[in-house]
Amino acid sequence: SMGINLANDNELRALADHMNAAGSGDWTAIPLVPGASAVGDSIAVTNPADRREVVGHWKAADSATVERALANAVAAQPGWDATPVDVRAKALERAATLLEERMPDFMAMCTKEAGKTIPDGIAEVREAVDFLRYYAHEARKHFVVEQLPGPTGEANSLQLAGRGVFACISPWNFPLAIFIGQIAAALAAGNSVIAKPAEQTNLVGYAAVKLMHEAGVPVDVLQFVPGDGATVGAALTADPRVAGVCFTGSTDTARLINRALAARDAGPIATLIAETGGQNAMIADSSSLPEQVVKDAMGSAFTSAGQRCSAARVLLVQEDIADKVISMLAGAMAELKVGNPGLLSTDVGPVIDNDAKCLLDDHATRMSSASAKHIATAQMDADDTAHGNFFAPVAWELASIDQLTRENFGPALHVIRWKADELDHVVDTINATGFGLTLGIHSRIDATIERIVSRAKVGNIYVNRNQIGAVVGVQPFGGQGLSGTGPKAGGPHYLPRFATEKTVTVNTTAAGGNASLLTLG
């Protein structure tokens, strides 16, 4: 087993039992749009670990519902923007407390709808809570009138306000954490929000929005519009009433959204905040510890079944230690437990759906015809995995990172050897992928670490540890190039991007007349 170290095993077991009992599997999700009339057909949601199990149902928003949501959001936004920042922040903090109280229920939903393991479910709820508290804190910091220096006879100040209506379009791989994180940031900044979850995870999204309402966010200020990208997503991004889009997902979809925003011929120039894909590498030199390299590479590649944009896809090992690392990797992969994500003993659960599995199967086929050398495939118990979307963790050895032509979103790791004089070249080949999200470095030579850090064009660098699981407020997360627009989620520059800025300059001399009596702040 990959080694889940929690302080108290009994507590964890109790949480797991409670979680599995809570998962009654009768959840529903419908649009949450005040004043909208009937919605369409009921669509079944099945458990990714066992497609025979229906865990709930959802109904998509039709175009009239989207139109109603837009009208509601436009009408509600000025009032929310005028609400004191402390009131907005307190609503987020109440939501954080409610989420903590209901952790087992949300974990159960994450497991049943998204195939999350128990440790992943805990991390998911924890991260959502952290986002709520962090953006509440950041809002209180940023949404004050800031006095700026100026010449005598003049008073200058700067203040932030919401942009208007934000569309938050979020991914299935963090159906609670990223979903809530986007919404919390947009709301904290004084925007009204129309939230569209990934189609695979409407149930978690619906429950999260209900909880936000319960915490005090008005129902017109945060609306929920489930549906597919081609209808709901396209309607939102084309509409001039949407001032900004916050998106996490594939690079291709981000381009699609960007084109839709650019094609508008009315309304404001819309803001796009996008967090997208990666081709993330871990570099290990001959001074690194093979045991630690293998542990951290596996943790980064296979946790969450590799379904993180931060996940390691490529392990670049200096040739002196490559044979040792590869044989230890094969040995450790033989110990992985793949199967039911609701069991504490499971390391790797299913991938999200059959399409995801097919893409990974295609990749495996391409790897075998591309003269990749197979290193290892984890064992799967045939009975445990027969009815789910399971893809066994796999590792291949490649000659070059150029053999990876797309992001493979699952538990697939690729190992490449490099020679002592190739360090700069290795970093250049990683940069040449165009992605720039996470990078792992394993070395005990400071000069080597510094050389890689300065040359790499990536957003998050992790040294001598794993390269996933960025902590909100501590490790601001986000990349560059094909990996996203920035600013980093969970970082100090994130909230201002959701806001407009207003500078006020007042003549405070006698000639300024009454204006000099204005109180600024």
For residue 225, which amino acid is it?
V
In the complex, minimum distance from the CB of residue 364 to ligand UN1, in angstroms, rounded to a whole number: 22
In the complex, minimum distance from the CB of residue 470 to ligand UN1, in angstroms, rounded to a whole number: 3
Number of chain positions touching ligand UN1 (CB under 6 A): 11
Instruction: Tell me the three state secondary structure of residue 234.
Output: helix
Q: Among the candidate windows 20-28, 38-46, 420-428, 464-472, which touches ligand UN1 by CB under 6 A?
A: 464-472
- Is 470 a binding residue for ligand UN1 by CB under 6 A? The answer is yes
Given a contact cutoff of 8 angstroms between Cβ atoms, the answer to whether 207 and 27 are in contact is yes
Given a contact cutoff of 8 angstroms between Cβ atoms, the answer to whether 110 and 176 are in contact is yes
Instruction: Tell me the three state secondary structure of residue 318.
Output: strand
Nearer to ligand UN1, 77 or 248 (CB): 248
DSSP-derived letter for residue 232 is I
How far is Cα 87 from Cα 82, in angstroms, rounded to an integer? 10
Residue 127 annotated to the active site: no
Q: How many residues does the chain have?
A: 521
Residue 49 CB-half CA count within 13 A: 24
In the complex, minimum distance from the CB of residue 417 to ligand UN1, in angstroms, rounded to a whole number: 27
In the complex, minimum distance from the CB of residue 73 to ligand UN1, in angstroms, rounded to a whole number: 25
Which of 124, 199, 309, 407 is an active site residue?
309
Nearer to ligand UN1, 173 or 223 (CB): 173
In the complex, minimum distance from the CB of residue 374 to ligand UN1, in angstroms, rounded to a whole number: 27
Nearer to ligand UN1, 33 or 468 (CB): 468
Binding residue (CB under 6 A) for ligand UN1 from 65, 170, 173, 200: 173
Burial class (CB within 10 angstroms; exposed 0-12, middle 13-18, buried 19+) of 412: buried
Q: How many CB atoms lie within 10 A of CB 502?
A: 11
Nearer to ligand UN1, 227 or 469 (CB): 469
User: What b/e string do you get for 80-108 counting C-beta neighbours within 10 Å, with b at 16 or more?
Assistant: bbeeebeebbebbbbbbebbeebbbbbbb
- Is 279 a binding residue for ligand UN1 by CB under 6 A? The answer is no
How far is Cα 288 from Cα 321, in angstroms, rounded to an integer? 9
- Is 469 a binding residue for ligand UN1 by CB under 6 A? The answer is yes
How far is Cα 34 from Cα 223, in angstroms, rounded to an integer? 8
Going 282 to 283 to 288 to 289, the CA torsion angle's sign is positive
361 torsion bin: left (phi>0), alpha (psi -120 to 50), beta (else): alpha
In the complex, minimum distance from the CB of residue 123 to ligand UN1, in angstroms, rounded to a whole number: 9
Going 45 to 390 to 340 to 409, the CA torsion angle's sign is negative
Closest CA to 200 of 80, 407, 48, 386: 48
Which of 138, 199, 275, 397 is an active site residue?
275
- Is 248 a binding residue for ligand UN1 by CB under 6 A? The answer is yes
CA 296, distance to chain mean position in Å, is 20
In the complex, minimum distance from the CB of residue 520 to ligand UN1, in angstroms, rounded to a whole number: 39
Binding residue (CB under 6 A) for ligand UN1 from 48, 56, 121, 171: 171
Nearer to ligand UN1, 174 or 390 (CB): 174
Binding residue (CB under 6 A) for ligand UN1 from 166, 477, 494, 498: 477
Residue 168 annotated to the active site: no
Between strands 154-162 and 499-507, the pairing is antiparallel
Nearer to ligand UN1, 309 or 333 (CB): 309
Q: Among the candidate windows 63-71, 73-81, 168-176, 238-246, which touches ligand UN1 by CB under 6 A?
A: 168-176
How far is Cα 407 from Cα 421, in angstroms, rounded to an integer? 28
- Is 468 a binding residue for ligand UN1 by CB under 6 A? The answer is yes
- Is 223 a binding residue for ligand UN1 by CB under 6 A? The answer is no
Q: How many CB atoms lie within 10 A of CB 432?
A: 12
Residue list 429-458, contact with ligand UN1 (CB under 6 A): none
DSSP-derived letter for residue 348 is B
How far is Cα 266 from Cα 219, in angstroms, rounded to an integer? 27
Nearer to ligand UN1, 290 or 459 (CB): 459
In the complex, minimum distance from the CB of residue 309 to ligand UN1, in angstroms, rounded to a whole number: 4
- Is 318 a binding residue for ligand UN1 by CB under 6 A? The answer is no
Nearer to ligand UN1, 327 or 464 (CB): 464
Residue list 280-309, contact with ligand UN1 (CB under 6 A): 308-309
Residues that bind ligand UN1 (CB under 6 A): 171, 173-174, 248, 308-310, 468-470, 477
Catalytic residues: 275, 309
